Structure 1
Amino acid sequence: MPFQFDHLRTLAALVEEGTFEAAARRLHVTSSAVSQRVRALEQTAGKVLVRRTNPVTATPAGEVVLRHARQVLLLDGDVLAELRRGEDERGRIPVPLAVNADSLATWFLDALADLPDELGAVFELHREDEEHTVSLLRSGTVMAAVTSAPDAVQGCSVEGLGTLRYQAVCTPEFDERHLGGRGDPGMLAGAPVVHFDRRDELQDRFVRDFTGREPAGPRHYVPASEDFARAVALGLGWGAVPEQQCRAGLESGRLVALAPDHPVEVRLYWQRWNLRSPVLDRVTEAVRAGARAWLRPL
C-alpha cells in the first residue's frame, strides 16, 4: 500500500513542530486527526515512526520515511510554483539547508542572496559543524548541506566546493604575555585558546601537527563565528580564524599570524538530495558560484 500524501505531510509537520497540537494548528486539523494519520502511516510502513515524547522525534525508521516525505513535499512545491508562475499570490517552497558556522559568517548568505525572489524559496538554515552536517541529511532534516564529508550520503550527490583557509592568530599583547613576544607557535600547547564549541578540533589539530605536542592550555568556548573572531581579537586566547575574518586585523597590526606559511585548510563539499528539483537546482548553482568567488580551489 503506497504512502498517502496527507500522511507524509502530517509526519513532516509533526516532527518539525514537535507536538501533535502544534502540528494540528499548522495543518488546520484536530490533534486527533494528526494522531490518526501518523498511526495509519505507521501501519503502512509496518514500523513505529515517531517517539511520543515532548518534543516528538523520529525513530530510525521514521527518519527514512521523513526524508521521503520531505522529498515528496519539495517536488509538490516545485509543481505548484510552476503552475502559479506569473500570478500575484504564490506559494513558497521551504528549503532547509545545513551549513557550518564559518561559511555562514563569510560567504554562504551572499550566495543565497543572489537567488531571485521569483524562485519562491524560503530558507531554514541549520548551523552545524562541517563534520556533522551530514547527519542532518541522513535524518531527512535538510535537503542539502555544506560538509567536509567527501563521500555521498545514501540518496545524495556530492561535489567539491573549495577550501576554507584559516590562520592561527592572536593579538600582539597576547603574544607578549604567552608566546614570548615572538609569535612562537611552539608555545601554543600551554597557552589560552578559543574554541567554537567542544567539538571544534581546528586548534587542537594545528597544535598537534605543528608542534607534535598535546594541547593543554586553558580553553574558552565561544559558539558563534563572529563572536569567536572577536574573542581572539580581544586577546581572550589564540584561535584559528578564517582568512576573510582576520585579514583586516593582520594588515592593521591588531593581530599576529603565528604560522602564516602553515594555514589550516578545511575542504568543503556540497551534498544534496539526488532528485530533479528546479528550486534545489537553482540553489545548488548559487552555492557553486558563491564558493568559486570565496573559496580556494580544492
Structure 2
Amino acid sequence: MPIDPTQLAALSAILRLGSFEAAAGALHVTPSAISQRLKALEEQVGATLVLRSQPCQPTELGARLAKHAEDIALLEAQALGDMAQAGATPARLTLAVPADSLATWLIPAFAEAPQMLYDLRIDDQDTADDWLRRGAVSAAVTGHDRAVPGCDLHPLGALRYVATASPEFMRRYFAKGVTATTLAKAPMLTFTPKDRLQHRWITQKTGKHLHPPSHQMPSTHAFVDATLLGLAWGMNPESLVTEHLAKGRLVALDPAQPMDVPLYWQVTRVMAKALTPLTRAIFRSSTKHLRQTGETSPTEAHN
C-alpha cells in the first residue's frame, strides 16, 4: 500500500523541528492531526518511528522514512520545475560534510544553489560516507576515492592543512626541534575521536605512531583560536591561517610538510539529476578553493 504523503510530511516535520506542536505549526494543522498522521503511519509500517523525547528523536526506520520523504519532495520539485520558481517552498536536502570544508569552501556553493533548504550532518571526511551507506543523506563530501554502492563519485581537489602553533608554544615545546620526542609531549588538538589528521601528520613527519596529550575541540575556528592562544598545536586549513602565518602570529611546525587531504563529492544516483545545480556549484567552488592535481604554492615552486 502506498504511503500517504501527508503522513510522511508529518513525520519529517516532527523530526526536523523536534516536537508535534512545532510540526503542526509548520504544516498549518493541529497537534492532534499530526499525532493521528504519525499513528496511522506507524500502524501501516508496523513499527515505532519517533521516540517521544525532548526533542523527538527518530528510530532507525523513522530516519530512513523521513529521508525518503525529503527525496520525494526534491524529485517532485525538480520534475515540476518548482526549484527555479520564486516563491515556491524549497525542498529539504540532507548532506554529510566535514566541518573544515564547511568553514572554507562549501558555503559559497550552497549560496549558488539557494533553491533548497540544507540540513547538514557534520562528520570527518574519513567517515562521512557512512551516512550514505545508511541511507541517511542524499550526498556527502568524503575523503575516500571509492564510491559507496549506488552513488556517483566526483573528485574535487585537496584541502591543504598546515601543522601550526603559536611562537610561544614553539619555544616552550619545540626549542630542541620538532622531533618524535618533542611531539610525544606537546599537547595537540583533535576534532573528535574520529579525527586522525594530527596523528597522520606525526607519522608523515617522524615515521612513528605517537599518542601525545590532546584537547578535543569539535570546531574549525576553535582550532585556529586555540593555536593562536598557545593552547596546543593542530592541523589548520591553510586558507584560514595564511594571514596569521604571514604576520608571525602562528608558525608552521615544518613548512616543508603540509598535508593535502583529497576530497570527493558522492551523490546517490537516484538523486543525481535533481541535485545537478548543486553539483555544478560544488565543482565551481572546489575548483576555486581547493588544490587541483599538480598545483603548487609559490613557496613550493622555489624550494
TM interval, shorter chain, is 0.7 to 0.9
Matched, 1:204 2:202: no
Q: Indicate conservation of the 8 Å contact 2:187/2:232, yes or no.
A: yes
Query: 3-state DSSP class of the match of 2:230?
Result: coil
Partner of 2:98: 100
Cα drift, residue 141 of structure 1: 5.0
| Alignment map for 1:1-298 (pairs within 5 Å) | 1-79=1-79, 81-82=81-82, 85=85, 89-115=87-113, 120-138=115-133, 142-153=137-148, 155-180=150-175, 182-184=177-179, 187-276=182-271, 280-297=275-292
The 1:172/1:183 distance shift into structure 2, 3 A limit, reads farther
Could you say what secondary structure the match of 1:113 adopts? helix
Quote the offset at 1:284 in angstroms: 0.9
Q: TM-score, normalised by structure 1?
A: 0.85
Q: Is the 8 A contact 1:99 1:126 kept in 2?
A: yes
Deviation readout 1:10-67 (Å, 9 max, x if unpaired): 1111211222222222222222322222222233333333333333222222233222
Deviation at 1:277, TM superposition (A): 6.5
**Whole-Å Cα distance in 2 between the matches of residues 201 and 192 of structure 1?**
15
SS in 2 for 1:268: strand
Deviates more, 1:66-75 or 1:55-64: 55-64
Whether the 8 Å contact between 1:134 and 1:147 is mirrored in structure 2 is: yes
Q: Which runs of 5+ in 2 are unaligned?
A: 294-303
Q: Measure how far apart 1:285 and its partner are.
A: 0.6
Aligned counterparts of 1:211 and 1:9: Cα–Cα separation in 2 = 54
Alpha-carbon distance change, 54 to 124 in structure 1, aligned in 2, over 3 angstroms: same
CA displacement 1:190-238 (0-9 Å, x = unmatched): 1121223343221122224433445444322333212211211222111
Q: AA paired with 2:105? A: W
The 1:157/1:40 distance shift into structure 2, 3 A limit, reads farther
Q: 1:139 to 1:24 in 2, by over 3 A?
A: farther
- SS of 1:32 mapped into structure 2: helix
Paired residue secondary structure (2:159): strand
Matched-pair identity in %: 39
- Relative distance call for 1:223 and 1:60 in structure 2 (3 A) is closer
Which amino acid letter does the alignment assign opposite residue 140 of structure 2?
A
Q: CA contact under 8 A between 1:186 and 1:210: conserved in structure 2? A: no
Rounded Cα–Cα distance in structure 2 between residues aligned with 1:135 and 1:276: 17
Superposed CA RMSD: 2.7
User: Aligned partners of 1:140, 1:12: CA distance in 2, in Å?
Assistant: 15
